[in-house]
Amino acid sequence: MADARDIVGAILEEADIVENGDRPWDIKVNDPRLFGRVLAGGSLALGESYMDGWWDCERLDELIARILAKGLQAKVRPSARLAFIWLRSLLVNTQRRGRAFRIGERHYDLGNDLYSVMLDKGMSYSCGYWKRAESLDEAQEAKLDLVCRKIGLEKGMRVLDIGCGWGAFARHAAERHGATVVGITVSKEQVEPARERCRGLPVEIRLQDYRELNERFDRIVSIGMIEHVGIKNYRRYMEVASRCLAPGGLFLLHTIGTNVSARVTDPWVDKYIFPDSVLPSLKRLAAAVEGIFKIEDVHSFGHHYDPTLLAWERNFSAGWDRLKDRYGERFYRMWRFYLLSSAGSFRARHIQLWQLVLSPRPSTAAYESVRDDR
């Protein structure tokens, strides 16, 4: 009877991955208990065993990309935690208003020192646009410019930024386009840096849940926030956007997404990175906007997230000496696994990145799709 090592080895062989091989994507096993642990615990065990130092890989991103491209994750038993998360998603609205600030506390409040080291100079924590860019700074600037052109941003317009982060879009829209911006976030640690970044500009940054909004804006953007809204709240989210968008306005929604509708996220990601979050599918987004907005444009560029994540990981690793005394070695391995496994997921097209442009019903105005093809 085959033992755990043989079973896992046979599975990995399908993706041309071998134990202790000499290629960058081959897995280096430091503790032979790894195989039984992964068979029993699936992706949660894979991530936790990496955090514990039980295995290494020179190109972890490529290892994950190969596993996902071949669908090998389906051949390993899901963890009990995944079953728990799935059942909880059926019974409980984990993204209800009373828990709105939990994702801020657990992820975005980790430390501005961490994010300052990892991100571009403008502090954009979302996918860059690399079509003409040669650096992370250029890719993020191109993304912000693309967003502004897609919504036809003009001087004097009032704009709502749902999930404003550290103020990257708000500053860009106000400084480059003369817009007045209200940005909201559920991260206490983002508020003051965002206000400082936008000092002297017509920008207001609020610590506020989206459900509290009830005022009019000419344009709305939401960049990398709906991933934390939850499927039970998509319709409410769109209703809030609808009541806040002026007639003739436009709403740009930028989100990571899944190819197949799911109720839960990966159990390792849920436990260590983004608690209570779930990626939307186009099917669920379309259902949420039906009768409220018209979908004017869908732009898919998930392949741009791969270089974005690799740039973040390079910055993080290069700046680790400034962070290690506060965060520790296990955090270092956890964060690298997060960034590199995410890069591999996008490379395998296991997950996607979409920008949707939405217009309010019953507007009859025509919309011309915008791309960076100048």
Q: Which residues does the chain have with pLDDT short of 50?
A: 1, 79, 82-87, 89-92, 374
DSSP calls for 197-247 = HTTTSSEEEEE--GGG----EEEEEEES-GGGT-GGGHHHHHHHHHHHEEE
Kindly state whether residues 23 and 108 are assigned to the same domain: no
DSSP calls for 145-198 = HHHHHHTT--TT-EEEEET-TTSHHHHHHHHHH--EEEEEES-HHHHHHHHHHT
- Paired strand residues for 252: 221, 357
86 domain-assigned: no
Of 33, 61, 78, the one marking the end of a domain is: 78
Kindly state whether residues 133 and 200 are assigned to the same domain: yes
Kindly state whether residues 50 and 156 are assigned to the same domain: no
87 domain-assigned: no
Kindly state whether residues 153 and 8 are assigned to the same domain: no
What pLDDT shows up at residue 100?
59
What pLDDT shows up at residue 4?
85
Kindly state whether residues 57 and 165 are assigned to the same domain: no
Kindly state whether residues 202 and 143 are assigned to the same domain: yes
Which domain CATH number covers 208?
A: 3.40.50.150
Closest CA to 161 of 213, 115, 199: 213
333 domain-assigned: yes
- Paired strand residues for 352: 257
89 domain-assigned: no
Of 78, 95, 124, the one marking the end of a domain is: 78
211 domain-assigned: yes
What pLDDT shows up at residue 141?
98
312 domain-assigned: yes
> What are 164-192's pLDDT values in tens digits?
999 999 999 999 999 999 999 999 999 99
Kindly state whether residues 232 and 303 are assigned to the same domain: yes
Kindly state whether residues 41 and 107 are assigned to the same domain: no
Domain enclosing residue 15, as ranges? 4-78
Kindly state whether residues 68 and 131 are assigned to the same domain: no
Kindly state whether residues 123 and 64 are assigned to the same domain: no
Kindly state whether residues 210 and 288 are assigned to the same domain: yes
373 domain-assigned: no
Kindly state whether residues 73 and 117 are assigned to the same domain: no
Tally the domains of the chain: 2
> What are 253-280's pLDDT values in tens digits?
999 999 999 877 898 999 999 988 899 9
138 domain-assigned: yes
Contacts of 245 by beta carbon, 8 Å cutoff, 6+ apart: 216, 217, 219, 220, 251, 360
